[in-house]
Structure 1
Amino acid sequence: MTSTLHTERLVLERYVLEDEEGFVALFQDTRVSRWMGDGPSSEADDRALFGRVFTMVYADDLFDVWAVRRDGRLVGHAEIKPTDVVEGYEIIYALTPEVWGFGLGRELAEALVAYGFHTLGLAEVHATVAASNRASLNVLTKVGFKHIRDITEDDGSTTLLLTRSISDRSPTDR
């Protein structure tokens, strides 16, 4: 069951039904959705995805999915789930553009990694990111992820597989 996580400035908690409009707005913002999955999708698809968080993910306890809040306001989305890219788990996160540039991506990624290591007992955590998504690559590098390999997508674009091992110290570790 998805537990509530707290960072210095963020709270990660289960979605509630009242979050649907904020969730859809986040996923409909092309500045965000261009980097997620297969890119932007229809509003109807995003509403259906929100519904599946409750009817499948939470109902069957498939993996952890969080609403990311700052000062009580929905500002992002986060997951840690099994991946078929490699054996193991990957982190997924997105923040609204209004909170970009304040170090919240790093804070969120660090929280997801710590959860993977200390709550799920993982020895390593993975992330996949479009090669052209410099902002996310910068965040992941700052929290200690290392490039493992390139993945060529069906459309010819490149996705990078990055991994952080529990034995690696993050550059932000004190």
Structure 2
Amino acid sequence: MTPALRTERLEFLPYRPEHEDVFVALLRDEEVCRWMGQDLVPEPQIREVFRAILTDIYPQRRFDVWGLWLAGAYVGHAEVKPTGNVDGHELVTALAPAYWGHGLGGEAVRGLLRHAADNLGLREAYGMVGAENTASLAMCRRLGFRHVRDVVGDDGSVTKLLVIPTTHPGGAAGAEGAAGAEGGVRAAAVEDPV
């Protein structure tokens, strides 16, 4: 079962049915979708995804998924899940634009790294960040991610595949003060533009 986690400011809580509307609002935000590298999809599809988290992902323990909360307010989404890009696990974070620029993206990623090391026994984790997402790429460098390779999409878009040891001093164990822009980004330890 996905455990509740805590960092200095954030609570990572497994979703409950009453969280559906905030989840939908996050994934219907055009800026969040842009930085996550996904198209804006119709609301009914997002509701189906949310319900699948509750009825499929959690019961079958497929991977860990959380809502991110700051002082009782929903601020974003996080996951640690197997990735199809390499043999390993991928970190996913997405923050609502109102919470970008406060260091929460880096804090969320460090929390995911600690969970990956302490609870899942992972030695490394991956992330994918769009090549144009300079703020997220800068945050990943500060945390200690290194570039593995570029992944080119059918549309010609470039995504950077990154890796970090889960016990890296800038990742799981330290760098609590890493600042920068934040926001929704797909798969990985990233903070988005302000």
Q: Which moved more, 1:38-47 or 1:163-172?
A: 163-172
Match for 1:99: what amino acid?
Answer: Y
Compute the displacement of 1:37 (Å).
4.9
CA deviations over 1:11-48 (Å, ceiling 9, x no partner): 00100111111000000001101122532211111111
Q: CA–CA distance in 1 between the matches of 2:167 and 2:93?
A: 23
Match for 2:87: what amino acid?
Answer: E
Compute the displacement of 1:118 (Å).
1.5
Q: CA–CA distance in 2 between the matches of 1:45 and 1:129?
A: 24
Match for 1:173: what amino acid?
Answer: G
Q: CA–CA distance in 2 between the matches of 1:168 and 1:25?
A: 34
Match for 2:113: what amino acid?
Answer: V
Other-structure match for 2:19:
19
Compute the displacement of 1:125 (Å).
0.4
Q: CA–CA distance in 2 between the matches of 1:60 and 1:37?
A: 27
CA contact (8 A) 1:109 1:140 kept: no
Q: Which runs of 5+ in 1 are unaligned?
A: none
Compute the displacement of 1:136 (Å).
1.9
Q: CA–CA distance in 1 between the matches of 2:167 and 2:29?
A: 36
Is the counterpart of residue 80 in structure 1 residue 107 in structure 2?
no
| CA shift in 2, pair 1:39/1:142, >3 Å | farther
After the TM superposition, list the runs of 4 or more consecutive aligned residues in structure 1 that deviate by more than 2 angstroms. 35-39, 166-169, 171-174
Other-structure match for 2:94:
94
Q: CA–CA distance in 2 between the matches of 1:77 and 1:10?
A: 11
TM-score (norm 1): 0.95
Other-structure match for 2:186:
none
Other-structure match for 1:131:
131
Corresponding residue pairs, total: 174
Q: How does 1:19-168 map to 2 (within 5 A)?
A: 19-166=19-166, 168=168
Q: CA–CA distance in 1 between the matches of 2:102 and 2:39?
A: 24
Match for 1:156: what amino acid?
Answer: G
Q: Which moved more, 1:21-30 or 1:138-147?
A: 138-147
Q: CA–CA distance in 2 between the matches of 1:131 and 1:106?
A: 18
1:34 match: secondary structure: helix
CA deviations over 1:40-85 (Å, ceiling 9, x no partner): 2111111111111111111111000001000111110000000010
Looking at both structures, which has the greater relative contact order when contacts are Cα pairs under 8 Å and sequence separation is at least 6? 2
CA contact (8 A) 1:10 1:70 kept: yes
Q: Which runs of 5+ in 2 are unaligned?
A: 176-194
CA contact (8 A) 1:148 1:161 kept: yes
Q: CA–CA distance in 2 between the matches of 1:20 and 1:82?
A: 24
CA contact (8 A) 2:113 2:167 kept: no
Compute the displacement of 1:144 (Å).
1.2
What is the RMSD of the two structures over their aligned residues, measured on CA atoms? 1.5
Q: CA–CA distance in 1 between the matches of 2:60 and 2:128?
A: 25
